Structure 1
């Protein structure tokens, strides 16, 4: 199924976590002390990312599956938690087993609704306008609709950083520059079960379901002197399937411009679409 394939491709990028888990009151980050143990650095990074109110992330996820072949998901997301929660996600590439999604996809979360723009989805549900408005109360609705809405939940800064704190073998791996920022590179692994337990209770079930196709996950994280991660790479494998995800973070606490589509381009979800 399309939903399952896309879930496999994007699971490592955020474990199907709702974007509202990243919220806070801003941060006056202090430099991380160089003598901290690697595990302490990860703990501090998780604390600091929970205070971030806005950021931009670029992500690429590559997968290989014995039966379904190779696939790739590539996109970027703007996020803000203040003055109100808003997300603008663009998926430029969704290609699974040689089956792509022409035109990609875009989703904007604003207020009490998600606005989705996918040409293939438009044809599937019979929408008459470029954008489909889906109230948050109906996010768990039709399978194909939820597939695209789930993409909003895959690029979560706080969730990814929190999960790596489950590592028992993290170690420093040198100093590198990422996006013009001097960082320290840390490397390690984390068991899926332990990582999921680091998340809020109401997010664990979805995360566990999406990571079920993976075993232990290898990670690399590049942390700046302010304690915030600039890059995260995740690699997982199980029963011949592999997944490699790379996320680049920038623009922490900077103003972002997230707007809903023009009203004349928005249609409602057709009433005849069933779950």
Structure 2
């Protein structure tokens, strides 16, 4: 049972690391109705406008790499991508190519799909520990306990609007220059934001979890690359406190484009073993 819990924790942590520190793409398409940013806007105004524009986004894809260092647990790295939609219902398809923490890793990576009322998880190591006979394990959100609840919470927090809202707390943001990000012309802004002030701008139900993941940090350094449509194409965040460090690089694309997030074929899905 202990080994099972450790493996489940590694899988859940891998998902969480990718989607939680984000601020959580590659070429992004322009969202419908996009209005070019006026060149004379102050940097802080651009971020405010970006936060408003992201509220119109209902689907996107993000590619990310997150490196973390913990004084007791060691180093870790997560690399993967996620397809996300909020309408007509919340759904997500997360693939982790690399996930390792403190000497533990997931050989072959991992994949998790949130679709309807279920989370479907495909992790080779997890299947071996549980003795599963099918490649995918289905965890009903309502019955799946802490593992399913954690994944759902992380996906719900991976909201582009909330992520962009964090950086609007910066009091020192400035324009760095203009750059091309995966073929898209963008304006580069950089600065820092105080964690407490940034978290306070999120919806009340999101604040406790966000603060937990950034608990040891006082300030976060960020860089954000914003397209002419007001939407972020790239975001980097880093922080260090009490020996702990994190560095996240995220690329956004496919804003408001149709996505297909489906449950795995039924004959490849088994239930979560109870013993």
- Shared fold per TM-score greater than 0.5: yes
Please list the CA deviations of residues 108-130 of structure 1 after superposition, one character each: whole Å capped at 9, or x if unmatched. Answer: 11111111111222233443321
Q: Which runs of 5+ in 2 are unaligned?
A: 1-5, 25-30
Q: Distance in 2 between matches of 1:14 and 1:30?
A: 23
Residues 89 and 152 in structure 1, CA contact (< 8 A), matched pair in contact too: no
Aligned residue number for residue 176 of structure 1: 179
Instruction: Return the offset for 1:147.
Output: 6.0
Please list the CA deviations of residues 121-148 of structure 1 after superposition, one character each: whole Å capped at 9, or x if unmatched. Answer: 2233443321111222245x245x6666
Instruction: Return the offset for 1:193.
Output: 1.0
Q: Distance in 2 between matches of 1:9 and 1:122?
A: 21
User: What does 1:228-243 correspond to in 2, within 5 Å?
Assistant: 228-243=231-246
Structure 1 length normalisation: TM-score?
0.86
Asked if 1:122 is matched to 2:131, the reply is no
Q: Distance in 2 between matches of 1:69 and 1:38?
A: 37
Asked if 1:79 is matched to 2:84, the reply is yes
Aligned residue for 2:111, secondary structure, equals strand
Q: Which of 37, 46, 50 lines up with 1:45 in the alignment?
A: 50
Q: Distance in 2 between matches of 1:14 and 1:271?
A: 36
Structure 2 length normalisation: TM-score?
0.86
Q: Distance in 1 between matches of 2:32 and 2:142?
A: 32
Q: Distance in 2 between matches of 1:114 and 1:149?
A: 8
Q: Distance in 2 between matches of 1:183 and 1:250?
A: 13
Instruction: Return the offset for 1:69.
Output: 2.5
Asked if 1:111 is matched to 2:111, the reply is no
Residues 135 and 268 in structure 2, CA contact (< 8 A), matched pair in contact too: yes
Residues 65 and 78 in structure 2, CA contact (< 8 A), matched pair in contact too: yes
Q: Which of 155, 159, 163 lines up with 1:160 in the alignment?
A: 163
Aligned residue for 1:13, secondary structure, equals coil
C-alpha spacing 1:81/1:8, structure 2 compared with 1 (3 Å) = closer
Asked if 1:186 is matched to 2:195, the reply is no
Aligned residue for 1:161, secondary structure, equals helix
Please list the CA deviations of residues 81-107 of structure 1 after superposition, one character each: whole Å capped at 9, or x if unmatched. Answer: 233322111011011233211111111
Aligned residue for 1:67, secondary structure, equals coil
Q: Which of 256, 263, 268 lines up with 1:265 in the alignment?
A: 268
Q: Which runs of 5+ in 1 are unaligned?
A: 16-25
Aligned residue number for residue 224 of structure 2: 221
Aligned residue number for residue 204 of structure 2: 201
Q: Distance in 1 between matches of 2:129 and 2:149?
A: 13
Aligned residue number for residue 73 of structure 2: 68
When the two chains are superposed, the root-mean-square deviation of aligned CA atoms in Å is 2.4
Residues 95 and 111 in structure 2, CA contact (< 8 A), matched pair in contact too: yes
Instruction: Return the offset for 1:157.
Output: 2.1
